[in-house]
Amino acid sequence: IDKQAHMLDAERMLWEVYNLDQALKVALEFAEKTNSDGNPTNDTLVILTADHETGGLVLPGVTDPSRMGTRDQVGTYDRMGFPEAADANGDGYPDNPDPEKKLVIHFGGAPDHFDDFRSQPRPVAPAKAGDDRKVHANPEKDGQTGVLYTGVSEVTVPEHGYAPDRGVHTGVDVPLLALGPGSERLTGVRDNTEIFFAILQALAPKP
């Protein structure tokens, strides 16, 4: 998920979330068995969270196929309409990850980049460093069909370190979901350090 968000690749990012959801299903099924077998020594605490958010995701509207490639390619308010999300097999996920009308995922924590909000045949870096040691939007990613969006990342390549040519980690809160013994300590908004102590208490509960 993080890797695709760095590339500002919303479609691949969402399908990584789908894969995570399938993995979580396995963990929850395992926990259901161990937590209901009457043996408290093998109970399972499942925790789902992340160490940071990447990209600064926002959902501004829905793509307008008639205006793609223009500044008005994202419909908002009364021009938004509804995204197309057919689910013929009933698994709760869209059959086509790239419909004509889809909910737009825009990345706020990003460098200058082009975007037409369409699925890419392969991941492409959103920006790249030039000979002038400046980071520029990469025309190979939607440069012919998309619109240039100004980013917030640094534009100068530092003397040491990497070029700021990807989506960046942000301070956005991340989800924290828990199920099983000790999960009551992980409700609401929590400081990340509290997760450690919740796990410690679950492993060695005080009498």
The verdict on whether residue 136 carries a ligand-binding annotation is no
> What is the Cα–Cα distance from 71 to 147, expressed in whole angstroms?
6
Which residue bears the tokens 């492409």?
A: 124
Which residue bears the tokens 């307008």?
A: 64
- Altogether, the residues listed in the chain come to a count of 207
- The single-letter code of the amino acid at 80 is M
The verdict on whether residue 52 carries a ligand-binding annotation is yes
The verdict on whether residue 106 carries a ligand-binding annotation is no
Going by C-alpha positions, the residue among 143, 112, 162 that lies closest to residue 8 is 112
Question: 92 — alpha (psi -120 to 50), left (phi > 0) or beta?
Answer: left
The verdict on whether residue 6 carries a ligand-binding annotation is yes
At 2, which helix (H) or strand (E)? Answer: helix 2-6
Residues annotated in a binding site for Zn(2+):
2, 6, 51-52, 169
Residues annotated in a binding site:
2, 6, 51-52, 169
